[in-house]
Structure 1
Amino acid sequence: MTEQFDYDDLGLVAGLEIHQQLDTATKLFCACPTELREPEESTRRLTRYLHPTRSELGELDEAALEESRVEREFEYLAYDSTCLVEEDDEPPHRVDDEAMTVALEIAQLLDMEPVDQVHPMRKLVIDGSNTSGFQRTMLVAGDGEIETDEGPVGVEDLMLEEESAQRVEETDSGVRYSLDRLGIPLVEIGTDPDIRSPEQAREAAERIGMLLRSTGKVKRGLGTIRQDVNVSIAEGARVELKGVQSLDDIDDIVRNEVRRQVELLEIAAELDEREAAVGEPRDVTDVFEDTDSGVIQSALTSGGVVRAVRLKGFDGLVGREIQPDRRLGTEFSDHAKRHGAGGIFHTDELPAYGVTEAEVEALREAVDAREARSASDSASGDEPRAGDAVAIVADDPETAELAIEAVAERAETALEGVPEETRDANEDATSRYLRPLPGAARMYPETDVPPVEPDASEVETPELLTEKVDRYQAEFDLDAGLAEQVAYGEDMPLFERVVEAGVDPTLAADTVESTLTALRRDAVPVENLTDEHIEDALLLVENGGVPNEGLEDLLTALAENPSLSAEEAVEQEDLGGVAEDEVREAVVEVVERNAEQVEEEGMGAFSGLMGECMGALRGKADGDLVSDVLREEIQKRA
């Protein structure tokens, strides 16, 4: 059930950061292609260990510092197209002109003012997603605005930056990345904190997404656009929610974060009343020497230990739900996992997982954790009191030590309310802890790339997708639904190109929006089709080289044999059209074979005979021509 909040009363403030890959020929700082590769195509591997560096003012960024506490090896998959810039073995080249032009087009659509001079900067990132340990980024424009139903939303800045490497998988020693994505040009659009409701957040994101796609020069598909949402309420704190993949999730992400902050504030108030506190971590391995818990026994068998921390006054609150299927204890576990632990157990959920009631009692005794006491339970008349909770981590000694300390630190912040932090968006529109909020200490000038003076004077403002829909209806006579499908679809640039080349607009629209979808459902590998395949096939139909009815067969042949040209596929599959006299000959043969039916039913026989005629011609004749000839031959005999 969705919880209802008065967002004005709570003081909700939100802003967006939209990250969109650009569809340019080359990467931002080198001439490598921007196409993604499969990991199996990699030709070599390289490794890095990354460490934080100080800013120009001698400061260390807190987020980078925490990341560095987790010792990891980063492995990168390189390809035959990977260059020295991507490997961080050569300085970056000049900023790609095409990427800068597209960024300026986007700035115009957002009513933004370009800066006089673009200065590339280095942004410290040591999670392994960049071989260099930083991401290059530059401010292109500022001071823009978009409209929503709930009022205008300011657009603070438009950054042009390089995309990070693609995370492939976790390894025993760290993380494996792929270098195919690293360096793809990316725009980051940040709004002002003008958003006041989940619905407005989604509308603003949809508006920006429509403007981006209007350029026809942004990449499409999963992972090519990511939304980050900054959310806070009056008594809470600013939280950055990263990696929202779908526009459909943005309003739910905001709702769930508001709920989380409300719940954390209520927990903090309750902890204050209870005079709660966090104890020092202790070793409690002896308590679990003979445990039946598989998780704990596995850790101990491998030479591990069990570490525990007493959470005074936390009883009943560690298990309290703060987001759907996520509890305060889940937040503690997220912090433990950051240091390599598999998770935590806590007394709000025990006995369970093989941990017995006797072990829970022994655990409480080992850390001096007291039970809750109600007035009715107190025979001596002592005051009621809240009980203590205990959290434990079972792992190798070093991991267990770091993880239980992280749990204790997160419990300390629970006493205060909502911590400022960066969180990772989950698929169910909840979120999990990622790292502290980054600060200004992670940004410093890029000395290897000269500044750029952007010239927006010759940049044309693209036609909006909403305007395209109207034009497609008026100019091409497409119905509203089909016009919108084409305008907002991934194949819009292809549609416009083939129509300009002379292809009938309705045929082109039906092909990219219906025919390809139908073929995909029939398990035809349409992903093998290039734009050139489709364009050449449509031109053959338009010029009479292939009948309309042969288009599906032609596209299927090309999808199954992508090395063929459209002309070669026509010849191989014998899809060429037939002359009108051949059509008439085939139709007459069908009519005469069914002369008795024609005599009895007249034009009533048309439908059945039409299918037979098309079958006889094997789809090599235009349906309209076959229809006209068949009607004529039936009328002669009726």
Structure 2
Amino acid sequence: MSDADYDYEDLGLVAGLEIHQQLDTASKLFCPCPTDLREPEEAGRTFTRYLHPTKSELGEIDDAALEESMVDREFEYLSYDTTCLVEEDDEPPHRVDREAMDVTMEIAQLLDASVVDQVHVMRKIVVDGSNTTGFQRTMRVAGEGAIETDEGQVRIEDLMLEEESAQRVAETDSGVRFSLDRLGIPLVEIGTKPDIRSPEQARDAAERIGMLLRSTGQVKRGLGTIRQDVNVSIAEGARVEIKGVQSLDDIDDIVRNEVRRQVELLDIAEELGERDAAVGDPQDVTEVFEGTDSGVIGGALSSGGNVMAVRLDGFDGLVGREIQPDRRLGTELSDHAKRHGAGGIFHTDELPAYGVTEAEVADLREAVDAGPEDAVALVADDPETTALAIEAVVERAEAAMDEVPEETRDATEEGTTRYLRPLPGAARMYPETDVPPVEPDPSEVDRPELLTEKVERYQAEYDLGSGLAEQVAYGEYMPLFERVVGEGVDPTLAAGTLESTLTELRRDDVAVSRLTDDHLADALALVDGGEVPQEGLDDLLRALAADPDLAAEAAVEQEDLGGVGEDEVREAVVRVVERNAEQVEAEGMGAFSGLMGECMGELRGKADGDTVSSVLREEIQERA
């Protein structure tokens, strides 16, 4: 049965979302450092850490943290001139940033969620290196809200405010390199209850929440600033948390493919039961591959490694069975092996291949006493890695006979998922003793205007067309549009510049990203005030993008973009008309279009087009 044929209600699909969105605040959550991202080459120094899990107040260690700690890695951190001791974990955190708390309460209003009486900061154990402390600080601000979708209401369970993790920059020979510019940026996490019943509703709910977040005008935009996690289960399957869905367009595919994976795994488990399947003990089969032509296996052996294999009784043909697009049960086994440093596994459903010969496969089967109904999986690496990896394969193969395992999975760009770690439990959370509680007051913030409401207001109040109004409201420059219009700039000028002019400049490879809000606001004010003609705005923005240290007024002077009076306009127009006297005499007003462009070039963008047009018409009419 294809995934398109699934009856999600009959399968008992239950899904929930966790939306993580960075806030666009001036300061980080627990220190006054800026929230701007930096380039790794700007780092002034580096330092390293090793992280280990700690016990909860009840003396328990979280399974996910424990498995993460089994991979021995050094974590290197890039520090900048904007990095402080809080980010390096050499100073206690400061009080919760007030701006971040206010924005979170605005979001609570849009979600119809109830703000708690007192906010307590908690520590969530994280030992993957993404935080210098070995934990992430998080706090519950509100809950019990709801949003509407086309398929019904989806309830909001929690609205959390927490610190963003450090950005993973690169894998190193000894571990992982992180950048501290992102660490500590305020981040809200919105968790829904498991009310979602179809892939389409999952996407609809995520889009609705995304619109509500952007309505505040205080969330960051761009790749990586919003992430979606999806919790998926079916009646006979298991709850699986899928992390890091970057695009809204992927959510429905992620849900469909996870349903398919669980359905296929259940079918495999049923068939393995009918075959009385079992998993053998790992064995060293290095002798089978002495002198092998396989590059992977030969490379491992030449470096002092070995080959371990395990017989999978009754698994023949099932290890290679596809459970997601381009992913098989063997891929699941390989994912677990990779968590312990192995490059992956080989299995007999795909051999002979990769330099492994048919004779070697036969010898391998004989070495582990595998029959024709059995499969064999093998790992080749250094002895320590091989031992850990083959044990992980054994554990995953044993689970395949019984159930769909509960776990955390990582979303891929192809809309599929791969094993990441076990599901975290309550043991990973404990109180933060360095930050005092916060008593939020929702009455201190106003409910933001929805983007849908803004579109209607822009049309009615500013006379923008429906398409342009929607572009502005949903675009990244909406807060700037509101600011400059509030300062008196013509709305049509502001909207056209922010949504059309900047797009055209970007297509011309102008570094638009280097233009600050102040650059744009000042440039628009100069044009709106008549100090720079609208035709000179393009050149002004190009100059500012080329040298962001310039102020708008200085760029006007540098590029000689200041406007000219009507007398100078007339002098320039007369020069153009006299140069083309024969054409004017012969064509009259028919010469207007050609001469208009020449006049604008003569004036080099220093005059408004309407003024030039009016003067040119007068001069042609006098001579025609």
Alignment of 1:163-562 (within 5 A): 163-371=164-372, 387-562=373-548
CA distance in 1, matches of 2:263, 2:381: 33
Q: Could you report, residue by residue, the CA deviation over 1:86-118 in whole angstroms, capped at 9, with x for unpaired residues? A: 111111111111111111110011000011111
**Maintained 8 Å contact 2:166/2:182:** yes
Distance in 1 separating the partners of 2:197 and 2:4: 17
Q: Which residue of 2 aligns with 1:564?
A: 550
Q: Quick one: distance in 1 between partners of 2:430 and 2:549?
A: 48
User: How big is each residue's C-alpha offset from its partner over 1:316-372, in whole Å with a ceiling of 9 and x where there is no partner?
Assistant: 11111111111111111110100000011000000000000000000000001101x
CA displacement at 1:595 relative to structure 2: 2.2
User: Which amino acid letter does the alignment assign opposite residue 70 of structure 1?
Assistant: V
2:561 aligns to what? 575
- Equivalent-residue separation in structure 1 for 2:225 and 2:386 (angstroms): 38
1:141-180 equivalences in 2 (<5 Å): 141-180=142-181
The 2-side partners of 1:73 and 1:612 are apart by 65
CA RMSD between the two structures? 1.0
Equivalent residues of 2:113, 2:144 under 8 A apart: yes
User: Is contact 1:109–1:211 with CA below 8 Å preserved after alignment?
Assistant: yes
Match of 1:71 in 2: 72
Secondary structure of 1:24's counterpart equals coil
Report how far residue 567 of structure 1 moved.
1.1
Q: What is the rounded CA distance, in whole Å, between the counterparts of 1:465 and 1:2 in structure 2? A: 35
AA matched with 2:22 = Q
Write the distance in 2 (CA, Å) between the matches of 1:592 and 1:170: 69
- What are the within-5 Å matches in structure 2 for residues 78-93 of structure 1? 78-93=79-94
Supply the distance in 1 between the matched residues of 2:621 and 2:275 (Cα, whole angstroms): 96
2:608 to 622, 626, 637: 622
Contact 1:267–1:417 (Cα < 8 Å) also in 2: no
Q: Aligned partners of 1:226, 1:246: CA distance in 2, in Å?
A: 8
Residue 479 of structure 1 aligns with an amino acid whose one-letter code is G
Output one character per residue of 1:39-86: Cα deviation in whole Å (capped at 9) or x when no partner: 111111111111111111111111111111111111111111211111
Q: Which range moves more in the overlay, 556-565 or 593-602?
A: 593-602
**Aligned with 1:598 (options 584, 601, 607):** 584
1:35 aligns with 2:36: yes
What is the alpha-carbon distance in structure 2 between the residues aligned to residue 594 and residue 38 of structure 1? 54
Q: Which runs of 5+ in 2 are unaligned?
A: none
In structure 2, relative to structure 1, the CA distance for the partners of 1:47 and 1:447 (3 Å cut) is: same
Q: Give the SS at the match of 1:167.
A: strand
CA distance in 2, matches of 1:73, 1:442: 22
Q: Answer whether contact 2:130 2:165 (CA < 8 A) is retained.
A: yes
Cα distance in structure 1, aligned partners of 2:545 and 2:149: 43
- The aligned residue for residue 374 of structure 1 is none
Distance 1:125 1:630 in 2: 71
Unaligned ranges ≥5, structure 1: 372-386
Question: Secondary structure at 2:493's aligned position in 1?
Answer: helix
**8 Å Cα contact 1:111/1:145 also seen in 2:** yes
Q: Distance in 2 between matches of 1:36 and 1:599?
A: 61
Contact between 1:73 and 1:173, CA under 8 Å: does it hold in 2? yes
TM-superposed deviation, 1:4: 3.0
1:170-201 Cα distance to aligned partner (Å, 9 max, x none): 11111111111111111100000000011100
List per-residue Cα deviations over 1:613-633 (Å, max 9, x = no partner).
111111111001111111122
Partner residue in 2 for 1:379 = none
- Measure, in 2, the Cα distance between the counterparts of 1:631 and 1:153: 63
Q: Secondary structure at the match of 2:153?
A: strand
**Amino acid paired to 1:601:** E
Specify the code of the residue in structure 2 equivalent to 1:20: Q
SS of 1:416 mapped into structure 2 = coil
Match of 2:14 in 1: 13
| Cα distance in 1 between the residues matched to 2:352 and 2:592 | 77
Q: What secondary structure is seen at the aligned counterpart in 2 of 1:355?
A: coil
Describe the superposition over 1:248-290 as per-residue Cα deviations: whole angstroms up to 9, x where unpaired: 1111111111111111111111111111111111000000001
**Maintained 8 Å contact 2:11/2:234:** yes
Q: Following the alignment from structure 1 to structure 2, what is the Cα–Cα distance between the partners of residues 393 and 289? A: 15
TM-score w.r.t. length of structure 1 = 0.97
Q: Return the alpha-carbon distance in structure 2 between the equivalents of residues 465 and 407 of structure 1.
A: 50
Question: How far apart in 2 are the matches of 1:332 and 1:501?
Answer: 61
The code of the aligned residue for 1:339 comes to H
Q: Tell me how far 1:2 sits from its aligned partner.
A: 6.2
Q: Higher mean Cα deviation, 560-569 or 299-308?
A: 560-569
Q: Render the CA deviation track for 1:213-232: whole Å, top value 9, x for unaligned.
A: 11011111111110000000
The answer on whether the counterparts of 2:3 and 2:260 sit within 8 Å (CA) in structure 1 is no
Task: After superposition, give the CA deviation of every residue in 1:570-597 in whole Å (9 maximum; x if it has no partner).
Answer: 1111111111011111112222222222
Equivalent position amino acid for 2:519 in 1 = H
TM-score normalized by structure 2?
0.99
- How big is each residue's C-alpha offset from its partner over 1:535-563, in whole Å with a ceiling of 9 and x where there is no partner? 11111111111111110001001111111
Q: Distance in 2 between matches of 1:585 and 1:241?
A: 69
- 2:38 and 2:498 mapped to 1: Cα distance? 25
